[in-house]
Structure 1
Amino acid sequence: MAKQSPVLVLGEALVDVVHANGEINEHVGGSPANVAFGLGRLEHDVTLAAWFAKDERGERIAQACRDAGVKVAAGADRAPRTSVANADIDAAGKATYQFDLSWLLPELPAAGSSGHVHTGSIGATLEPGGSQVVKALRDNVDVATISYDPNARPTLMGNPGAVIGRVEEIIALCDVIKSSDEDIEWLYPDRSVADVMRHWLNLGPALAVVTRGGDGAYVAVSTDDAIIEVEPRTVSVIDTVGAGDSFMAGLISGLLDADYLGGAEAREALRHARLVDVMPAIDRAISTSATTVSKAGAYAPTRDEL
């Protein structure tokens, strides 16, 4: 059974309108919401602070939360309309997004009531909610561990110069930073992945992970100068929708189970962790994401499926 240190996820929940093979299908999504669903399916106590409406699509989000065992923060359903992401899936299964959304942060539980806080993607940068997210992280930084996935969306974020300050502000507050090599290429076009990972660790996190699509991941910790390469699982890919979010959920889950996330004592333990200590959590992240890409949409596996 999973450790039950409560987790608070801050960020967007929306409906993905997926265009693939001449068909259009709708799935509940949004990067932070997908992470929350993944954690709920992995039996963690998780609350999602999102922003959606009491409309048909919003009810689908609320139902997805219920189905995954995810609680919804008070007032999260007060948006004027539920946000939409149009996802075009190419022949390789890769998704490209266009967005129609608005973002505010609803009322949150009291600081310290959650042992871990996760945020990422649009919700961390799109105003006015983005500044509210940063305030919430600052309110929790001394009493909870924090994880972050920049999950860049250039169509909304504009250019790297417009968001890099916010991205690094959040990285400096977090204990775990997880990104993709594509995000690093966009955010830091003139720097290598290894250079960026070391830069991020110098800002404050204890663990940095960079996913590489079908090529596995890079992992680094603040206690070691080495950056190791982790091989992927070989699976038949249906599409990559939600793969990075599933990886993030698996990573958080594994770290929670190992008592490396979930409050001040867990943070101290993670600060002293070596690469070998975090590898079981990395293995879970690889397993969850591999299961997700073998299914259609942002599928969140259970523990029994790993």
Structure 2
Amino acid sequence: MNHRELRDSPVLTVIGEALVDIIRDPRQPGSQAHPGGSPLNVAVGAARLGLGTRLVTHYADDLHGRMLEEHLKSNGVAVLKGGTAPTSTATATLGLDRAATYVFDISWDIEGASITAAARDSTHVHTGSIAAMLAPGDRSTLAFVEATRERATISYDPNCRPAISPDADSARAQVERFVAASDIVKASDEDLLWLYPDSTPERALAAWLQLGPALVALTRGAAGPVLLTRQGRVEMAAESVTVADTVGAGDSFMSGLISGLAQLGALGRGGRQRLHSLTLDELKALSAYANSAAAITCSRPGANPPDSAELGLLF
């Protein structure tokens, strides 16, 4: 499958928050503002890799909202916007290791009309992060996933934010609802250590596989990713790059994974059987492809995922 075929393929719908990341670097004066939000980042990353993509989200008609609108449109992401809440922000402060910690000013709600329109022709649906956790919009997000499950494959990234959902027991139950409804799940080692402090990330990942997904992926920062199916396991080291920051790296991994699976014909109702029969060589190629997407993003400031010219095709 070439990039034109990907662009003309049925629709990837991402549902979730769009917000503005305000980056504070103690080594530099002031701050910088960048479009962000995990679902927005995944949508932009997938569109840059050639997938026909739309985002179901909300933001206001204000300075930050217009920044988001321009960013999405300039990257070829169609927008279905609902809700009336102000545009959300996340202030990311970079540490000495260039990793980011966040403080949020965010709300999440979405109107039913946007969800109904997007549910009709989605081939693959991705969600996660705040949109799958924060009331009242989390219910609408789960309803959307359940409404599209028969005709679309589902991917999910919990991208846990303890500052927003500090009750780990409640968060764990909600995460497991989405895991059980999904075909593809990606999580970081930090997510799994917070959700399952008495387990190891890999044991928690293996337990998720038993809830229903065909493919589960673990990202471990510099240690690299692990991909797991019922047929096999792949582990590889992270690519060596000079890190500008880690903002959006996990989201780029996710969009790379979705793009790679699209190239394998493993998305959508018709691709679900293909997804369940991935070979070890295909898992290795998927892991390397998504790993490269994350590495490129780490090499430059902010959530700035690679395009298809930079990443190429899976094979």
> 1:175 corresponds to which residue?
183
Q: Structure 1 length as normaliser, TM-score?
A: 0.95
Q: Please, which runs of 5 or more residues in structure 2 have no aligned partner?
A: none
Q: Structure 2 length as normaliser, TM-score?
A: 0.93
Q: How do residues 16-95 of structure 1 correspond to structure 2 at under 5 angstroms?
A: 16-20=21-25, 21=27, 22-73=29-80, 75-76=81-82, 78-95=83-100
Q: Is the 8 A contact 1:219 1:230 kept in 2?
A: no
Post-superposition shift, 1:112?
4.1
- Write the deviation string for residues 163-197 of structure 1: whole angstroms up to 9, x where unpaired: 11110000001110000001100000001122111
Q: Is the 8 A contact 1:112 1:144 kept in 2?
A: no
- Write the deviation string for residues 74-96 of structure 1: whole angstroms up to 9, x where unpaired: x33x5331001011111111000
- Write the deviation string for residues 3-54 of structure 1: whole angstroms up to 9, x where unpaired: 2221000110000111102431100000000000101111110010111101
> 2:246 corresponds to which residue?
240
Q: Please, which runs of 5 or more residues in structure 1 have no aligned partner?
A: none
Match among 231, 251, 257 for residue 237 of structure 2: 231
Instruction: Give the whole-Å Cα distance in 2 for the aligned partners of 1:94 and 1:268.
Output: 38
Post-superposition shift, 1:260?
1.0
Match among 198, 201, 216 for residue 208 of structure 1: 216
Which SS does the other structure have where 1:152 is aligned?
coil
**Alignment length, in residue pairs?**
301
Amino acid of the residue matched to residue 127 of structure 1? A
Considering only aligned residues, what root-mean-square deviation do their CA atoms show, in Å? Answer: 1.2
Which SS does the other structure have where 2:210 is aligned?
helix
Q: Is the 8 A contact 2:234 2:283 kept in 1?
A: no
Whether 2:162 is the aligned partner of 1:157: answer no
Instruction: Give the whole-Å Cα distance in 2 for the aligned partners of 1:17 and 1:122.
Output: 17
Amino acid of the residue matched to residue 27 of structure 1? H
Instruction: Give the whole-Å Cα distance in 2 for the aligned partners of 1:81 and 1:112.
Output: 28
Q: How do residues 282-301 of structure 1 correspond to structure 2 at under 5 angstroms?
A: 282-301=287-306
Instruction: Give the whole-Å Cα distance in 2 for the aligned partners of 1:52 and 1:243.
Output: 23
Q: Is the 8 A contact 1:111 1:143 kept in 2?
A: no
Instruction: Give the whole-Å Cα distance in 2 for the aligned partners of 1:194 and 1:241.
Output: 23
Percent of residue pairs bearing the same amino acid type: 40
Amino acid of the residue matched to residue 52 of structure 1? Y
Instruction: Give the whole-Å Cα distance in 2 for the aligned partners of 1:236 and 1:110.
Output: 39
> 2:119 corresponds to which residue?
111
Instruction: Give the whole-Å Cα distance in 1 for the aligned partners of 2:217 and 2:273.
Output: 19
> 2:152 corresponds to which residue?
144
Instruction: Give the whole-Å Cα distance in 2 for the aligned partners of 1:123 and 1:70.
Output: 18
Q: Is the 8 A contact 1:205 1:222 kept in 2?
A: no
Amino acid of the residue matched to residue 243 of structure 1? A
Match among 251, 254, 258 for residue 252 of structure 1: 258
Instruction: Give the whole-Å Cα distance in 1 for the aligned partners of 2:306 and 2:251.
Output: 12
